[in-house]
Amino acid sequence: MKVNVDRARCQGHAQCEDAAGLVFEVGDDALVRLRMENPPEELRPAVEDAVRWCPVEAIRIEND
Mean predicted confidence (pLDDT) in 55-62: 96
pLDDT band at 63 (very low <50, low <70, confident <90, very high): confident
Query: Which string of b and e fits 17-31 if b means at least 16 CB within 10 Å?
Result: bebbeebbebeeeeb
**HSE toward the beta carbon, residue 12, CA cutoff 13 A:** 6
CATH number of 2-62: 3.30.70.20
**pLDDT tens-place string over residues 19-51:** 999 999 999 999 999 999 999 999 999 999 999
Using the predicted structure, report yes or no on whether residue 55 has a pLDDT greater than 90: yes
Domain boundaries, the chain: 2-62
What number is the average pLDDT over the span 4-31?
A: 95
